Amino acid sequence: MDESQAQQPALDGLAPPKRRRRGPARRVPAEDHPVAQVILDVQATHLGRTFDYLVQRRDEHTAVPGVLVRVRFGGRLVNGIVWKRISSSQTLASSLKFIERVLSPEVLVPEQLREDIGDIADAYGGTRANILRLAVPPRVARIDDEQRFAAGPGFGKTRYGLSEGTLAWHEAQSERFAASYESAQALRQGIGGRTFQAFVLDTLPGPLRWATDAAWMMVEALTVGKSVVLVLPDSRSLDEMDAMLASIGMRPFSPGKVEHGGWTGDYVRLGSSMPPAERYRSYRALASGQLRCVIGTRAAMYAPIEGPALFAIVDDGVYQNADGHMPYANARGVQRLRARNHHGVFAVISFARSAASQWECEVSRSEASGVTGPSTALNGLPSVIKNDMPWIRWLNREELSRLADPTMGARVPHTAVSVLTKALQEGPVLLSVPHDGVHQVLSCANCHRRAQCRRCTGPLRAKSSGAPQCMWCGAIAVDWHCQHCSSQRLQMIRVGAAGTAMELRQLFRHVPQVISTPQQPRGIVESVADRPQIVIATPGAEPHVLAHDGEALHAGYSAVAILDAWTGLYAPGIDARIDTLDTWMRIVAQCRPRSKGGQALLIGEADPIAAQSLMTWSPTVLATRELADRRETGMPPVVATACIWGGRDAVMQTLGEIGVVGGDFTVVGEGNDALPGFLGPVPIPQPKSIAARQFEGTDDRVRVLVRVSPDRRDDLAGRLRTAVGRHMASRDRQELRFQMDPKNLL
C-alpha cells in the first residue's frame, strides 16, 4: 500500500485526525530596538566589525548587550557577542537575518569591558573579535545555572567585607610600608582617589617581600571600595601570591559550607591553564559582580571588572606578558589602558626597573600614548634597603686578584667555597646556575665582550660567508672592531651549564644536595627544610625554605651564590641587561638580611653597571644608563616600535602603504636627531624541519622594525591594521603579520 494513503485507525463515529503541515515559523522582530550589533567569532582582520541581526520578540529581554548568541554567517552557525541594540540598521531589510539562539541570558561581557576591549584592539592594531577570543573563556552550560543561583539575592553580594584578621594585618603593614618607601603616601592617596594615577615600585630585598607589598596594595584598594586586578608572570608566582593572601586571612574562591553548594571567597584565580569549568566559573563570578578581586597570569588582564580599580602587574618586562595570538597585546599596556579608562590606579611591581618604567618616570604628558605615560617612582629608603639586603660581593677577576685567590680561574673559587662552607653551619645555601639551553653568539676575542652592531648596538651573528650580520637591523658588520678594546678579532662562544652537581660534590663533601630544575626527573622542588644543605637550582626554580616557627612563608637562605655570571654578557635581546639584573635580584632577594648573617656572591665577569645595581640594590642605576643608550640609538621605549614580518613582497608593500617608505613615517625625530623610520629587512631563517621547508613562501621571509615617535604610536597601529586587513581581503597567499611593542627585536 502507498505510504501516502496510510491513515491512523479511529474509533467508530470519530473522524480521523487531520495531519497538519508544519511550515517555517513566523519570526516577529522585537518592538524596542529590534536590531542587534554583534561581534562574531571570526578572526579575519577585514571582518573585524559589527554585523546587524534582528532580535525576535521572544528574545527581546534576553538578547541584551554582552550576552552570547548564535547567528548564521557565511552559510554556517557562529557564536558572537551582542555589542549594542539599536532601533534601525543601514543594511537592507531583505538582507537582515534573525539571531538563531541566545545561548545564555547572562551578561558575559559587561559594558565597561566592552569599552576596554575596543580601546585595546585599537591600541594593538587588532579587532574586537581577536580580544574576545582571548578574554572570554569557552562556555560551560552547567556553570551558568550554578552561578545564577550563587549570584542571586541574599547570596554572594554581601561578602565584600574582609575578615578582622586581614584588616589587622593591613593596619600593621601600613606603618611598615610608609616607613619603607619614598612617596608611599602618594600611592595611598592615589588608591583612595578617583582620578587615574600610575606608579612604579622597586621592591625591597627579602624573601617574598614583593608578595607582601602587593598584598598590602590589594587590601588597601579593597578597603576603599575599589576592585583589584593583579597580573603575575607565571604560575609559580601565582601560587606564591595565593599562599600570601591565604596567610593574611583572605579566602580563595571555593565551595562554600552551605547546602546548595555555591562558591564563595574574597578573591579568585584566573588563568588560561585552568580547567575549562574552573576558569569559566571564575570568570562568571567576576562578570556577575559576586567578586571584585582577581589574581592570575596574563589572561587575568581581561578580567570583567567594573568601576574604579587597581590594575597592578608584577615583573612588567618578562616575555610572558605578550599574548601569543593576534594582536599580541602586552599585559603591561593593557593594565595601564584599563586603569585609565576606569579612573583607577596602575602599579608596576618589579625587582629590576624596565626601560619602559624608567621612561615613564621621566617623560612628560605630551609624549604619552594610549598605553604609556607619566608615572611616579616609589623607591625604597636607603636605610631600609641597607638593613634588609644581605652582604653582596662581586667576585670577578679583579676582586679575586686583589684577594690573591689561587683558584682565580675556577668556576667556584676558593673565596666562594670558604664563604659557603661557613654559611652551611647556619642553614641551607643556594647556588643558582644558568638554564640548560645552549646557544652561540659572537664576542670579542680579546676582552670577551659581546660583539655589537655599530648602527643599532644589536648582537652579531656569523654567516656562512662574508662579514657578520646584525640580528636586529640586518646591517653587515664590515671592518668591525670592538668599541671597548678596538680589537678586530671575533670568536664564537657557547653559552650553557651542565655537571654543576658533580663538580660541587668534590668541593663540599658529605653535604646533602637538592637539585631543582625543570629538566630533572623530580622537576621543580617546591620547598626544603631549614637545615644545612646545598640547593642547586636554575632561575625561577628555587625552592622555598620552610621556617621552623611557621610564621613566615619563606625563611630565606643563609647564603646565595650566582654562578657563571658571564653568561649574561651574551644574551641577544634588547632587554638583556635588565633581564639579567632582574634574575639576579630575584635570586638574591631569597637570602636572609645581613642582620641575620646573609651573604650573596656574584661569581664571574659581568656588566659593571648591572653588578653595581645589584650590590647597591638600586635598579635605577642600570635603567637610567639603558635609557640613555636607547636615546642615542633610537630604540624603544624612546620610540614606539612595531615588528612586521612575512613574505618579502608583502612586507615591502605594507611599508609603502603605512607611509614608512615615501610617507610621513620615513624618519623619526627632527633635524640632526632624525633617524630612519625602519630597520631591516632582516631575513628570517627557514624552518629546520624538512616538511616545513616545502611550504610555499617560506624561502623568502623577512622581518622589519618600524619606529615612530611615542605620540604617533596609535596612528601606526591603525595604519597597520588597515594594511593587513586589505592584504587578507585580497586573498594574497603571502604571510603578513605585525606586533606592536615587541619584547625582543629578533
In angstroms, rounded to a whole number, what is the distance separating the alpha carbons of residues 52 and 39? 9
Query: In 10 A of CB 341, how many CB atoms?
Result: 19
Per-residue confidence (pLDDT) for residue 159, from 0 to 100 = 41
Supply the DSSP symbol for 519.
T
Per-residue confidence (pLDDT) for residue 198, from 0 to 100 = 95
Query: In 10 A of CB 340, how many CB atoms?
Result: 20
- Over the stretch 726-736, which tens digit does the pLDDT of each residue have? 999 998 888 99
- Over the stretch 650-662, which tens digit does the pLDDT of each residue have? 999 999 999 999 8
- Say yes or no to pLDDT of 693 above 60: no
Superfamily (CATH) of domain 164-383: P-loop containing nucleotide triphosphate hydrolases (3.40.50.300)
Query: Higher-confidence residue: 165 or 257?
Result: 165
Is there a contact between 587 and 556 (Cβ–Cβ < 8 Å)?
no
Per-residue confidence (pLDDT) for residue 440, from 0 to 100 = 59
- Over the stretch 105-118, which tens digit does the pLDDT of each residue have? 889 999 999 999 99
What share of the chain has pLDDT > 70, as a percent? 89
> Residues 636-655: what's their mean pLDDT?
93
Q: Does 639-740 carry CATH code 3.40.50?
A: no
- Over the stretch 300-348, which tens digit does the pLDDT of each residue have? 999 999 999 999 999 998 888 888 888 999 999 999 999 999 999 999 9
Coil, strand or helix: which one is 561? strand
Please enumerate in sequence order all residues whose Cβ is within 8 A of that of 720, keeping only pairs 6 or more positions apart, or say none: 125, 642, 644, 654, 658, 738, 740
Query: In 10 A of CB 402, how many CB atoms?
Result: 8
- Say yes or no to pLDDT of 149 above 80: no
> Residues 597-603: what's their mean pLDDT?
94
Is there a contact between 647 and 700 (Cβ–Cβ < 8 Å)?
yes
Per-residue confidence (pLDDT) for residue 162, from 0 to 100 = 87
- Say yes or no to pLDDT of 432 above 50: yes
Per-residue confidence (pLDDT) for residue 744, from 0 to 100 = 82
Of 70-84, 496-510, 563-577, 674-688, the range with the lowest mean pLDDT is 496-510
Of 21-25, 82-86, 421-425, 612-616, the range with the lowest mean pLDDT is 21-25
- Over the stretch 574-585, which tens digit does the pLDDT of each residue have? 899 999 999 999
The highest-confidence range among 363-372, 433-442, 689-698, by mean pLDDT, is: 363-372
- Beta sheet of 376-378, edge-to-edge order: 268-270, 293-296, 227-231, 309-314, 345-350, 197-202, 376-378
- Say yes or no to pLDDT of 287 above 90: yes
Establish whether domains 164-383 and 391-437+496-616 are of one fold.
Answer: yes
**Angle subtended at Cα 118 by Cα 115 and Cα 121, rounded to the nearest 5 degrees:** 150
Closest by Cα among 105, 103, 64, 100 to 85: 64
How many angstroms separate the Cα of 149 from the Cα of each of 68, 141, 156, 180, 708? 19, 13, 10, 45, 51
Q: For the chain, give every domain's residue range.
A: 35-136, 164-383, 391-437+496-616, 639-740
Please enumerate in sequence order all residues whose Cβ is within 8 A of that of 67, keeping only pairs 6 or more positions apart, or say none: 81, 82, 102, 103, 104, 105, 106, 107, 108
Closest by Cα among 216, 173, 201, 210 to 588: 210
In angstroms, rounded to a whole number, what is the distance separating the alpha carbons of residues 258 and 114? 34
Closest by Cα among 344, 321, 336, 334 to 374: 336
- Say yes or no to pLDDT of 5 above 60: no
Per-residue confidence (pLDDT) for residue 9, from 0 to 100 = 62
Q: Give residue 85's pLDDT band: very low, low, confident or very high (50, 70, 90).
A: very high
Is there a contact between 212 and 287 (Cβ–Cβ < 8 Å)?
no
Q: Give residue 24's pLDDT band: very low, low, confident or very high (50, 70, 90).
A: low
> Residues 601-622: what's their mean pLDDT?
94
- Say yes or no to pLDDT of 568 above 80: yes
- Say yes or no to pLDDT of 436 above 80: no
What share of the chain has pLDDT > 90, as a percent? 56
- Say yes or no to pLDDT of 613 above 60: yes
The fold for domain 391-437+496-616 equals: Rossmann fold (3.40.50)
Per-residue confidence (pLDDT) for residue 494, from 0 to 100 = 54
* DSSP string computed for 50-80: EEEEEPBGGGTTTS-TT-EEEEEETTEEEEE
Query: Phi and psi dihedrals of 278, rounded to 5?
Result: -70, -40
- Say yes or no to pLDDT of 158 above 70: no
Is there a contact between 605 and 566 (Cβ–Cβ < 8 Å)?
yes
Q: Which CATH code is given to the segment(s) 35-136?
A: 3.40.1440.60
Q: Is the link from the previous residue into 637 a cis peptide, with omega within 30 of 0?
A: yes
Mean pLDDT of the chain: 87
Query: Higher-confidence residue: 359 or 441?
Result: 359
Per-residue confidence (pLDDT) for residue 110, from 0 to 100 = 95
Q: Give residue 31's pLDDT band: very low, low, confident or very high (50, 70, 90).
A: confident
**Angle subtended at Cα 690 by Cα 687 and Cα 695, rounded to the nearest 5 degrees:** 70
Residue 188 corresponds to which cell in the numbers above?
A: 595611598
> Residues 272-289: what's their mean pLDDT?
92
Is there a contact between 432 and 587 (Cβ–Cβ < 8 Å)?
yes
> Residues 236-244: what's their mean pLDDT?
94
